Amino acid sequence: MDTTQVNPETFWDERYGESDAIWSGNVNIALADVVVERELEPGTALDLGCGEGADALWL
């Protein structure tokens, strides 16, 4: 896709519309390590720019 003439909304709509899954769908291993090492308790999380939400779902 030529992004020079496409607005950001159109770009990302097309990018995520290309296939069912763009990312792995797995939690980021560095995030999982921090949560486990610090024994963080369940709570509320805000995952900005989360892509398809794999990290947010895991949290």
Instruction: Identify whether 6 is part of a domain.
Output: no
Instruction: Identify whether 18 is part of a domain.
Output: no
Calculate the dihedral angle through the C-alpha atoms of 53, 32, 35, 42, rounding to the nearest 10 degrees.
40
Instruction: Identify whether 46 is part of a domain.
Output: yes
Domain that residue 45 falls in: 25-59
pLDDT band of 2, cuts 50, 70, 90: low
Instruction: Identify whether 50 is part of a domain.
Output: yes
Q: Is the entire prediction scored with pTM above 0.75?
A: no
Instruction: Identify whether 20 is part of a domain.
Output: no
Total domains present in the chain: 1
State CA 26 to chain mean position distance: 10
Instruction: Identify whether 15 is part of a domain.
Output: no
CA-based nearest residue to 14, from 1, 23, 25, 26: 1
pLDDT band of 10, cuts 50, 70, 90: very high
